[in-house]
Amino acid sequence: MKTSDYGTYENVEMLEMLAGVGANLSEQDRNGKTPMDYTIETGSRKMATALQKLTGADATEPLNANKIHPASPAWSDGLDFPSSQPDVDGDSQAMLKLLELERSKARQLNDSRPEEEEKEDELRNVLMDEEQNIPYRVSMTKVEIEKDYRSGCRFFTLQLNKLPNGIIRLYSHRGLLKGYHGETDNTYFCKKEEGIAEFEKIFKAKSENNWADVKRFQKKPNMYALMEFKPWKAKRNSALRDFRFDLDSPVPCKLPEEIQHVLRMWTKPEVLEEALKETKVDTSIMNFGHFSRDTVLEAKKVLDQISELIKRRDWEKHQSRIRRSKHNLIPQVKDSKDATSASTGERPVRFTQKRDLYFAEKLYDLSNQYLHQLIPYENFSHITVRPVTIQDELEKQRKKLFDLMDLEMLNRILLGAMYRKQEIHPLDYIYRALDCKLKLLDKDDEEKRHLLQFIHQSMRGDNNVEVKAIFRMSRKGEEERLQSCRLDNHKLLWHNCNSANLLSTMKLGIPVSDREYKPDDRYCNLGEGIYTSTSFNAMSSSGRMFGQKDSKFFLLMEVCYCQLKGRCPFTVGMAALVAFT
């Protein structure tokens, strides 16, 4: 009933077999404890229920939930650090100020031109409006609804260029914001005044605004709206370029060698740079020296607004189809997630072309805000970045944004470690900031033997792995949370992730989404792209490990779930970290 201090098997069949051959299931051992006592210590409600039935106890009497707790023996990582955590936010901000100051001094020594005089190559030949001190260049968008109620967003770009021979070129580019190249036109003028007049004429025709009032632009119905033209380009020069973290310190490190080794692997500059490039952001702007937490959080809010609009639009479309097919009969909608306003008794609006236009304009406005003003994508253009107006594109952008949020959190910790490196070793700082215990399991540890058996039993064919190390792992307060949920079913699931995601998980844990755990699935998505599996072999054959060619890392997670009317809400906790090749 209790095979070890840290856990036990739940083998009801063996218990029933012992009862069948006459074993006394109520007998006390030399410690004065019965099988039920040990079952209560291990927290196995399944075994407690079976014992209650086999011993003839009153099966209708409910088990005391307050007594049934999983065994969680206390363990220590053996490190004597102060109980308080480092002030990561304050330290990282202080480090950024130092870097900005150093860069400002370097500019004064090496660059005689003031920063505001620096211009992008593409702006050098753009004709300037000297009265307004802005270039003759605009980018505009317009939402249109086709006859089949499909929405589209047209873009129109217009600019004046002064060519070396004095000729003025009027360049225009138009098309759909759906990845198509569109069409371009070039018109040439001998006189600057003629080109400016034609530019202002086209701008007026497209937007019903005068160019002289462009700084007070007002959106007109069914006309093009002004869009900020690559605003990230103006911020490129303020980014801290070529910044790399240096974790060397005169202060000795207190961490064991094995933990130092894995932390260095996870924070290698090339590993972090590869993870950042994978997000497809413009790393000349958003990099490890210039990573705004407020910007990332604002981007998340915008995606949340897009998500709500998509849900509402799709629900109204669905209700409109039901209205047409069932003679205006609107059924009671059971799923509150899909029926945003059904629970309030609000009568759905008929989905007309006007209603479709309303949603399309809202979605394109938010999409432009996200793609043009918040997240700087690499080689951005209207034909390479699709607007976020459908669920599939929303999920792709969410995955990228969650990766950016992980990297931003890690960026703050590393900046703080750099700032305090003369007082505390950076690796000690990182470990303390993560607030997560790690301890290498000894080769003779019984728990390690069970985990190795668990790993190798799932391997198939020649797909073998060499386990380099297994770390016991625990986040602060997580064991207590797992115990407090008092759920009957616990499973161990494998999860692979890159270095940035791994460090973020150690710091923040696994986010519990509104998804439900499906115990019978070989692969299970716990939400926000968190894929898991009961099979080490299945998980090791999928996923990417940025920069981890020497060793890969898997998290072993404990998932507690219970089945309630076909649903499986779950709670997740960290159990172990496995390094393998």
Rounded CA gap, 271 and 498, in Å? 9
Beta 225-227 vs 489-496: how paired, if at all?
Answer: unpaired
Distance of CA 55 to the CA centre of its chain: 50
- Say if residues 289 and 243 touch (Cβ distance below 8 Å): yes
Q: What is the pLDDT of residues 130-187, one digit of tens each?
A: 999 889 999 888 877 665 445 577 888 899 999 888 899 999 988 876 655 678 899 9
The pTM assigned to this predicted structure is 0.72
The CB density around residue 21, as the number of other CB atoms within 10 Å, is 6
Q: What are phi and psi of 574, to 5 degrees?
A: -80, 145
The CB density around residue 38, as the number of other CB atoms within 10 Å, is 19
At residue 512, the pLDDT reads 55
- Say if residues 41 and 35 touch (Cβ distance below 8 Å): no
The listed CATH number (3.30.1330.60, 1.10.10.60, 1.20.142.10, 3.30.420.40) that belongs to domain 231-434: 1.20.142.10
Give the mean pLDDT of 530-547: 64
Single-letter amino acid, residue 284: S
Identify the residue whose tokens are 């703050």. 412
At residue 259, the pLDDT reads 92
Q: Angle of helix 257-266 relative to helix 499-508, nearest 10 degrees?
A: 120
At residue 192, the pLDDT reads 92
List Cα–Cα distances, 167 to 136, 188, 192, 202, in angstroms.
Answer: 15, 7, 8, 19
Strand pairing partners for 572? 559
Could you tell me the maximum CA-CA distance found in the chain, to the nearest angstrom?
108
The upper half-sphere exposure of residue 507, i.e. CA atoms within 13 Å in the direction of its Cβ, equals: 23
On the 0-12 / 13-18 / 19+ scale of CB atoms within 10 A, 385 is: buried
DSSP-derived 3-state class of residue 20: helix
At residue 188, the pLDDT reads 93
The CB density around residue 393, as the number of other CB atoms within 10 Å, is 16
Helix residue spans in 223-376 (DSSP H)? 231-235, 257-266, 269-278, 293-325, 353-368
pLDDT band at 555 (very low <50, low <70, confident <90, very high): confident
**What is the percent of the chain with per-residue pLDDT over 90, rounded to a whole number?**
17
Calculated CA dihedral for residues 373, 374, 377, 383, nearest 10 degrees = -40
At residue 116, the pLDDT reads 44
At residue 309, the pLDDT reads 93
Check residue 166 and give left, alpha or beta (phi > 0: left; psi -120 to 50: alpha). Answer: left
- Say if residues 155 and 230 touch (Cβ distance below 8 Å): no
Least confident of 320-324, 329-333, 488-492: 329-333
**What is the percent of the chain with per-residue pLDDT over 70, rounded to a whole number?**
70
Give the mean pLDDT of 282-302: 78
Q: What is the CA radius of gyration of the chain?
A: 31
Q: The tokens of 202 are what?
A: 């086209």
- DSSP characters over 27-46: ---TTS--HHHHHHHHT-HH
Whether residue 122 has pLDDT greater than 70: no
Among 577, 437, 480, 507, residue whose Cα is nearest residue 76: 437
Identify the residue whose tokens are 């569109």. 182
- Say if residues 25 and 18 touch (Cβ distance below 8 Å): yes
At residue 520, the pLDDT reads 47
Rounded CA gap, 376 and 385, in Å? 11
Strand pairing partners for 153? 143
- Say if residues 516 and 567 touch (Cβ distance below 8 Å): yes
List Cα–Cα distances, 40 to 44, 457, 517, in angstroms.
Answer: 7, 29, 26
Q: What are phi and psi of 518, to 5 degrees?
A: -115, 100
Whether residue 524 has pLDDT greater than 70: no
Where exactly does CATH 1.20.142.10 map onto the chain? 231-434
Where exactly does CATH 3.90.228.10 map onto the chain? 436-580
Q: What is the pLDDT of residues 141-150, one digit of tens each?
A: 887 766 544 5
Rounded CA gap, 411 and 460, in Å? 39
Q: What is the pLDDT of residues 390-428, one digit of tens each?
A: 888 888 888 888 888 888 888 889 999 999 999 999 999
The 3-state DSSP composition of the chain as helix, strand, coil percent (nearest 5) reads 40, 15, 40
At residue 267, the pLDDT reads 85
Nearby residues of 198 by Cβ (< 8 Å), 6 or more positions away = 170, 187, 189
The CB density around residue 44, as the number of other CB atoms within 10 Å, is 25
524-550 burial string, b = 16+ CB within 10 Å, else e?
Answer: bebbeebbbbbbbbbbbeeeebbbbee
Helix and strand numbers, DSSP H then E, in the chain: 16, 14
Q: What is the mean pLDDT of the chain?
A: 76
pLDDT band at 121 (very low <50, low <70, confident <90, very high): very low
> What CATH number was assigned to the domain covering residues 436-580?
3.90.228.10
Positive or negative CA dihedral for 297, 298, 299, 302?
Answer: positive
Strand pairing partners for 225? 141
- Say if residues 71 and 3 touch (Cβ distance below 8 Å): no
pLDDT band at 67 (very low <50, low <70, confident <90, very high): low
